[in-house]
Amino acid sequence: MSRILVDSSIWIEFFRRPNAPASLVLDHLLAHRLVCTTGLIKAEVVPGAQSPRDFRRLRSLFDALPSAPEREGFWAHLMRFRYRLHLNGVLGISIPDLIIATVAIQNRRLVFTADEDFSRMMPYVPVSLFTP
């Protein structure tokens, strides 16, 4: 079962440095079919292809992964999370990061990321991180 939502930061590392520790972990997760994605992550990663052939290969790879959907009440949750962060002085968290966190929360998935913004939001947003 795809329990782990892999953030763009890990995917970018995976394609740039295949032997990096995070890349090896992702390779293992993929082999065991533990990875899912979102439309947003696809939109962040796939257009970074270096050629039309790479674009088709990346699109095919991401299309083969299970997708974690935005569920009912998604935007209301996201606004509430952003408001909590604002009230507590946690500024600079991007909307894409909040979208990924909200999708993960709604689908009960762990987020595998190298982006420290997820750790910054954890005291106020009930996102759970995957740590290898």
Do residues 8 and 58 share a domain? Answer: yes
- CB 109 within 8 Å of CB 6: no
- What is the DSSP annotation of 49-80? -SSHHHHHHHHHHHHHS-BPPPPTTHHHHHHH
Measured distance CA(45)–CA(67) in Å, rounded: 15
Determine the distance from the C-alpha atom of residue 41 to the mean position of all C-alpha atoms in its chain, rounded to a whole number: 6
- CB 97 within 8 Å of CB 118: yes
- CB 94 within 8 Å of CB 117: yes
Token pair in block for residue 130: 């995957």
Q: Give Dmax (Cα) for the chain.
A: 46
The pTM of the full predicted model, rounded to 2 decimals, is 0.94
Do residues 55 and 80 share a domain? Answer: no
Residue pLDDT tens, the chain, 132 long: 679 999 999 999 999 999 999 999 999 999 999 999 999 999 999 999 999 999 999 999 999 999 999 999 999 999 999 999 999 999 999 999 999 999 999 999 999 999 999 999 999 999 999 999
Full domain range(s) for residue 44: 4-64
DSSP code, position 47: G
Do residues 13 and 39 share a domain? Answer: yes
Partners of residue 5 on adjacent β-strands: 36, 111
Do residues 9 and 34 share a domain? Answer: yes
Do residues 16 and 58 share a domain? Answer: yes
Structural domain contains residue 132: no
Structural domain contains residue 80: yes
Q: What is the pLDDT of residue 1?
A: 64
Q: What is the pLDDT of residue 10?
A: 98
